[in-house]
Amino acid sequence: MRNKNKFANIYLVLVFVVLYAPIFYLMYYSFNSGGTMRDFEGFTLDYYREVFQDTRLIIIVINTLVIALLSSAIATLIAIFGALAIHHIRSRRAKNTLLSLNNVLIVSPDVIIGASFLILFTIAGIKLGFTSVLLSHVAFSIPIAVLMILPHLQDMSPTLTDAARDLGATRRDVLTKVILPIIKPGIFSGFFMALTYSLDDFAVTFFVTGNGYSTLSVEIYSRARQGVSLSINALSTLIFLFTILLVVGYYFLNRRKARPGAAIAEPAAELGVPR
C-alpha cells in the first residue's frame, strides 16, 4: 500500500512539473542578459525595462483589460436575463431548444466563430477594431455566463418567489430583492468565467481585430512568429504574477464568504464542459 502511494505521488508530481515547467522556463530566461533562451549568461532586468518603456505594448495591455472587463460586464447582464428566460420556460422542448442554441458558441471551434463573426461584421458594415472585438467577446461570453447562473436559479425554491408575490411584491421587487440576491454567486462566477474567456481568447479576436487594433494574445502571436524575444518572457512573468494575485484574491474572497472549497470546484466543474 505504501509503495502504491509513493507511485501515485510521483505521478502527480510529474504532472505538476510538466504543467509548470514551461511557465518557469519562460520566467527564468526573462532575466537572461544573453538575449536568447539558450545559455544563461547573467542576470538582468533589461527586458522588464523594455516592457515598461514599450508604450505600444502598454496600450495593448490596457485594451485587453478594457475589453475583458467591459465585455464580461455586458455579457453577464444579458446572461442573467437569458438564464431567467430559460428557467421560466415551461415547455420542455422549448427549453431544450433554447439551451441548445445557448450552447452553440461554447461547443463551436474558435475558428468558425471567428470566421463567421468576420463575415457578420463585414456585412453589417462594422469597422474592424474595438467595436468588433468587444461585440465578439460579449457574444462568446454570454453562453458560459448563462450556464454558471442557471444552476443557482434551479436550486432556488419556487416557494420563495410565490411567497414574495403573495406578500404583494411587484415583478421588479421579486427580481431585485429575491431572485438576484439568491443567484448572486452564480452571477459572480459567470462574470469571472467571462473574464477569463475574454483574457484568454486568441482565435476569435485574431479574425476580427483588423489593422491597428490589437489585444495581448494577438500581439504575442505576431511577436512569437518573428522569433524569440525575451521581452515576451518578461511580459509573461508579469502576467503570471498578476494571475496568481487574481486567483489568490478570488480564492480568499470566496473562501470567506461561502462553504469552503466549493467556490473553486464550481467554476472548475463547469469550465468548458458542454452540457
Partner 1 sequence: MQSKGRPYYLIPYYLWIALFVIAPVLLITYYSLFDLEGNLTLDNYANFFTPVYMRMMLNSFWYAFLITLFSLLVAYPAAYLLTRTKHKQLWLLLIILPTWINLLLKAYAFIGIFGTFGPINNFFDLLGIGEQQILFTGFSFVFVSVYIFIPFMILPIYSALEELNHSLVDAARDLGASGWTTFRRVIFPLTISGVRSGCMAVFIPALSLFMITRLIAGNRVITLGTAIEQHFLVTQDWGMGSTVAVFLIVIMALFMLLTGRSRKRGAA
Q: Which of residues 149-168 bind partner 1 (CB under 8 A)?
A: 161, 165
Contact call for residue 208 and partner 1 (CB under 8 A): no
- Using CB under 8 A as the binding rule, whether residue 273 contacts partner 1 is answered as yes
Question: According to the binding rule CB under 8 A, does residue 207 interact with partner 1?
Answer: yes
44 vs 229, beta carbon nearer partner 1: 229
**Of 32, 56, 54, 52, which is closest to residue 233 (Cα–Cα)?**
32
Residue 121 near residue 55, CB atoms below 8 Å: no
Binding mask 109-138 for partner 1 (x = CB under 8 A): xxxxxxxxxxxx--x---------------
First to last CA, the chain: 38
Binding mask 19-58 for partner 1 (x = CB under 8 A): xxxxx-xx--x------xxxx-------------------
4/56 with CB nearer partner 1 = 4
Q: Which residue stretch of 43-51, 55-63, 147-155, 202-210 sits at the interface with partner 1 (rule: CB under 8 A)?
A: 202-210
Of 50-58, 126-134, 181-189, 233-241, which segment contacts partner 1 by CB under 8 A? 233-241
CB-based contacts of 198-204 (< 8 A; 24+ apart in sequence)? 198/67, 198/68, 198/71, 198/72, 198/137, 198/141, 199/64, 199/68, 201/110, 201/137, 201/140, 202/110, 203/110, 203/111, 203/113, 203/114, 204/110, 204/113, 204/114, 204/117, 204/136, 204/137, 204/140
Which of 130, 103, 135, 104 lies closest to 117 in space, CA to CA? 135
Shortest spacing between CB 115 and partner 1, in angstroms: 5
User: Shortest approach of partner 1 to residue 164 CB, angstroms?
Assistant: 10
The residue range among 45-53, 72-80, 148-156, 183-191 that interacts with partner 1, by the rule CB under 8 A, is 72-80
